[in-house]
Amino acid sequence: MSDTRTRILDLANQLTQSRGFNGFSYLDLAAEIGIKNSSIHYHFKAKSDLALAMVDRHRETTAESFARLDHDIDDPRERLLSVVRYFEADLRDGKICLCGMMAAELQSVSEEVRRELALYFRKFQDWLSKQLSEMGYSDPPRAALQFLSALEGSLLLARLQGDVTVVGQALDGFVNG
């Protein structure tokens, strides 16, 4: 895995979070990284390959982050809070959830990417469900779906209104009292 490949993935990830996957071109990536667009094609033959690699990598790093939270933090409520703070930090840079963005752009991604996205959200919901179960929720999978929906929706609203606190308000019942 070359350094250039990683830099492409990093930049594509950021741009997708802020502008959407259809909101940037290979020329944008090339200009920012300082190479030619044909070099981007060397690493990712088609843009659909870039999409797949990006979502796949994000799904894996997210799984690692969850494992680390489970290991480092005892209180499940504090784990949830940590996740919320992560999304709030991205939000301050105008970035929303990578997979939420691509779920909005669903009609322009391949079936393979759709499956990756569905898997991402299933794993996310599973992890949330575990935390909420520890917190004593009676129907953890249901509560996890509500948490996830509120998170994704509030990111859209918070960015539009330029108010990061919207996310915390939308998830109030889960991370507080």
Partner DNA sequence: GTCTATACAGCGATAGAC
Partner DNA sequence: GTCTATCGCTGTATAGAC
Query: What is the spatial distance between Cα 151 and Cα 131, in angstroms, rounded to a whole number?
Result: 15
Instruction: Single out the residue of 19, 47, 57, 77 in contact with a second copy (rule: CB under 8 A).
Output: 19
Of DNA, a second copy, none, which one sits near residue 156, judging by CB under 5 to 8 A according to partner kind? a second copy
Phi and psi, residue 145, nearest 5°: -65, -40
Question: Does 159 contact a second copy by CB under 8 A?
Answer: yes
From a second copy, DNA, none, which one binds at residue 137 (CB under 5 to 8 Å depending on kind)?
none
**Sign of torsion over alpha carbons 158, 82, 52, 5:** positive
Residues 6+ apart with CB under 8 A from 152: 97, 100, 103
Among 75, 126, 134, 172, binds a second copy (CB under 8 A): 172
Q: How far is the CB of 39 from a second copy (least distance, A)?
A: 26
**Rounded distance, CA 59 to CA 18, Å?**
18
100's CB contacts (< 8 A; 6+ apart) are: 152, 155, 156
Q: Footprint of DNA on this chain (CB under 7 A)? A: 2, 4-5, 24-28, 30, 34-39, 41-43, 45-48
Give the binding-site size for a second copy (rule: CB under 8 A).
Answer: 39
Query: Pick from a second copy, DNA, none: which does 67 bind, CB < 5 to 8 A by kind?
Result: none
What number of helices (H) and strands (E) belong to the chain?
A: 10, 0
Picked from DNA, a second copy, none, the partner binding residue 103 (CB below 5 to 8 A depending on kind) is a second copy
